[in-house]
Amino acid sequence: MAGIPILVVEDNEANMKLMEHLLSARGYEHRGATNAKEALELLETFHPQLIFMDLQLPGMDGYELTRRLKAAPQTKDILIVALTAYAMKGDEERARAAGCDGYLTKPIDTRAFGAKLTEFLSRGKNR
């Protein structure tokens, strides 16, 4: 699955660097955005199969950005995986209600990341 385009929307520099490292090590083509505005601008020219979406972004949060992307014909089929430090009861349901196709908590378990990524991408193929 190497070479598959992935977008990471994450405002925390350390988390972004970790995601970039994990994706680069597996050969994925990836881009990063630190807020919703950057993500929307990037999506005009970059067409990922999967977006890792931080839910707590400055300005427009990840929930609203996900709702907008799922409502737009050109982005509605992109897999969106919530990437969040919030792991309280009901948080995953709230992310799914906004349109997220998956849920990954921070801190990221680097040992399990590859398997989770493969799982998310295989779900997308079965749509």
**Domain ranges in the chain?**
5-125
pLDDT for 4 equals 94
- Residue from 58, 60, 68, 55 nearest 102 by CA: 55
Please check whether residue 12 is in contact with residue 64, taking contact to mean a CB–CB distance below 8 angstroms. Answer: no
Residue 99 Rama label (left phi>0; alpha psi -120 to 50; beta): left
pLDDT for 127 equals 54
Tell me which residue has tokens 């990524």: 117
pLDDT for 91 equals 85
Please check whether residue 65 is in contact with residue 29, taking contact to mean a CB–CB distance below 8 angstroms. Answer: no
Task: Report how far residue 84's alpha carbon sits from residue 35's, in angstroms, rounded to the nearest whole number.
Answer: 14
pLDDT for 2 equals 65
pLDDT for 88 equals 72
Q: How big is the CA angle at 123 (ends 120 and 127), to the nearest 5 degrees?
A: 145
Secondary-structure percent of the chain, ordered helix, strand, coil, rounded to 5? 45, 20, 40
Q: Which CATH superfamily is domain 5-125 in?
A: Response regulator (3.40.50.2300)
pLDDT for 69 equals 98
Mean pLDDT by 10 residues, the chain (127 residues): 89 96 96 98 97 96 97 97 82 93 92 94 71
